[in-house]
Amino acid sequence: MKHITVISNERDCSIELTHHDSDQSTWIVRRWKKFLWFKKQISSDWFNDERQAIAFANELKQKHIIQLRSS
């Protein structure tokens, strides 16, 4: 079974953490750019540890928030 956790769902960017039960050692952080009803994957980072993947996803989220505020 595939588990997807949404870390951030801003209007122009989405960050998701994906994990498969069949592969316990793979955690994937994907970043999507959203435009209207389309979604385009702009990055995919793979990790062996859940803590590292969550920390990286939260770091991406913080960078995106800072970027939005400075725009």
> What is the secondary structure of 15-41 as a DSSP string?
EEEEEETTEEEEEEEEEEEEETTEEEE
Task: Using alpha carbons only, give the angle 5, 8, 9 rounded to the nearest 5 degrees.
Answer: 100
Does the pLDDT at position 64 exceed 90? no
Whole-prediction pTM: 0.85
Is residue 10 within 8 Å of residue 67, measured between CB atoms?
no
d(CA 64, CA 62): 5
Burial class from Cβ neighbours inside 10 Å (0-12, 13-18, 19+) for residue 8 reads middle
pLDDT digits (tens, 9 = 90+) for 34-56: 888 888 999 999 999 999 999 99
26 or 66, higher pLDDT: 26
